[in-house]
A and B are shown apart, each in its own frame.
Chain A
């Protein structure tokens, strides 16, 4: 038997996985073990699979993912800290046949931008929100976030978060799920291949909902920030599973029955 050479293996019919063309070749600035990179990849794959590159507009936040526009080959708007949902609101209303999404961290979405996200969701804007909750301010060097867990030490809660000094961690996703304008709310993660597949399915559904015009789709991804948490990538995942999932349980919080604009209108009435 002749020896199999590498060039015999690299053939189209043997290809089982490829990098989506929506991801650019720019080297990502994210730290090892950071969830942002994986989340970018699955958002990009969804855009490719749905064939909506030409009609998608992303709104990037202020936070570690401010430069998301370097990595996904679509049109982007870079918003002021917390204001992405306001940009997305106007963009979607002015270009209703486009797919508009915001990509926001927990400081961006649940602290400085609380008003914008709540009101965009309450108006039922037909947008998709990707909410990357790593319970910390990654970009500015690991300060306390609204989602930081009780007892968790950060640069601005060095002795651990305590209620009297810092208040309680904010379950903004649970709040959002209460709003009638919101069609779909789910909480996912990306630390294992199985989790990545589920998160990707959720993101895809969020984009598909824009076709149905049934209100906002909100996808939280419980994430790691290995640098901010001062843990190795492996330990970060472990810590997330042990601590974050307890307070932020995974799964759908809301999947409205409505399937069309008509049903949505009826629901609102």
Chain B
């Protein structure tokens, strides 16, 4: 087992990156996640693991640096917050189109526009419904603790390489800034050239040797029939991920009559609210999606046969609630409670919303 440390969520991301054998980090400062690059620059991993850390000129450059690094079969990552991720969307679409594995961290802040530096969950649509152009998905992991911030770096890379897809950690300023105990992983060395050849040798641009055809990383197909075939391939991969990689956690759902559905920091708030509700004799449970794409649709539609209603709690004006409604498919009432623009709801406030929902069905 690894060491026990007290860390901020953002620091945990940086620490986990160095320990999981990440080859390169490319980023641009933005609150509330700048500690990730600051921690890396302070640690100077290029002197120990050989990991490259570079402050790019913009998020546009960072994401395209990921495209270059990932093309070489390297484990590369970036992090940003909402406005920066908006700038990256063209690049993310290219990465998805060219099927490049990489890790992107979004420590979400309140929008729209420059908005606020306070926490928010209003980038759910952007993350799970494309964001950039074209039919594509990224695997999106939503940590609810500093431990998970640490764990999902390695997991994100594993999934990215397993499916040749960008992985994204969708978190917010609460988890990024709060301090908790973390068991950090044992350090793994970076992949050797031979390992990269084994893992990505059929496609990575590592120099065309005599024993193989040249490798071309591109998302371009001038013939639409070929581009449709490529899209079929992508869609088949996405269906496979939907079958294999859904992750979620349930809290007091066994006898639940009503259900909170919440991810990330909202799930932490709802967990407390479940306890408050139970103390009052209201049978409430919580389902926490850990992957927001692929979404735990199947489990939620099962629960729709058990509970009398579902309340999606998000720090947004109501985005994930659409996925809850799709899963419930009209069987039971589904509603939304949210504070947004950087405001964090309290467990009591969430309970009041649940009581109102139980009474009024909305």
Taking beta carbons and an 8 Å cutoff, which residues of A are in contact with B? 53-57, 59, 66-67, 69, 73-80, 83, 86-91, 93-95, 98, 115-116, 119
Contacts and interface: CB of A to CB of B under 8 A. Distances in A.
Contacts, number: 123
Contacts of B56: 86, 119
B67 A79 contact: yes
Contacts of A98: 206-207
Contacts of B66: 90
A77 B205 CA distance: 7
Contact of A90 (B26, B60, B220): B26
Contacts of B52: 90, 93-94
A154 to B, nearest CB: 24
A138 to B, nearest CB: 16
29 contacts: A54-B207, A54-B208, A54-B210, A57-B207, A66-B220, A69-B218, A73-B214, A75-B206, A75-B207, A76-B205, A78-B98, A78-B217, A78-B218, A78-B219, A79-B67, A80-B67, A80-B90, A83-B91, A86-B61, A86-B65, A86-B68, A87-B65, A87-B71, A93-B24, A95-B207, A115-B58, A116-B60, A116-B61, A119-B61
B207 A89 contact: no
Contacts of B76: 90, 94
A56 B207 CA distance: 6
A66 B62 CA distance: 21
Given A57-B207, A67-B220, A76-B215, 13 more contacts: A55-B207, A69-B218, A80-B64, A80-B67, A80-B90, A86-B61, A86-B62, A87-B67, A89-B54, A91-B68, A91-B72, A91-B205, A115-B61
Interface residues of B, number: 38
Nearest to A99: B207
B208 A53 contact: yes
Contact of B216 (A78, A80, A86, A89): A78
A267 B60 CA distance: 30
Contacts of A77: 67-68, 71, 205, 216-218
Contacts of A69: 214, 216, 218
Give the most central of A54, A55, A69, A83: most B CB within 10 Å.
A83
B157 interface: no
Nearest to A115: B57
B68 A90 contact: yes
A53 B209 CA distance: 8
A87 B208 contact: no
B69 interface: yes
Given A75-B214, A88-B68, A90-B65, A116 B57 contact: yes
Nearest to B51: A94
Contacts of A80: 64, 67, 90-91, 94
Interface in B27-68: 52, 54, 56-58, 60-62, 64-68
Most chain B beta-carbon neighbours within 10 Å: one of A67, A86, A116, A119: A86
B164 interface: no
A57 B205 CA distance: 7
Given A76-B214, A78-B217, A94-B69, A86 B64 contact: yes
Contacts of A66: 220
A193 B166 CA distance: 47
Interface string B68-89: 1101101010000000000000
A79 B65 CA distance: 10
Contacts of B68: 59, 77, 79, 86-91, 94
Most buried by B among A57, A66, A115: A57
Contacts of A119: 56-57, 61
B205 A83 contact: no
B215 A83 contact: no
Interface string B236-273: 00000000000000000000000000000000000000
A83 B91 CA distance: 9
A124 to B, nearest CB: 13
B151 interface: no
B148 interface: no
Contacts of A91: 68-69, 71-72, 205
Given A80-B94, A91-B69, A75 B205 contact: yes
B314 interface: no
Most chain B CB within 10 A, of A67, A80, A86, A90, is at: A90
A80 B100 CA distance: 14
A66 B94 CA distance: 14
A55 B71 CA distance: 14
B75 to A, nearest CB: 10
Interface string B203-240: 00111111000111111100000000000000000000
A79 B68 CA distance: 8
B166 to A, nearest CB: 14
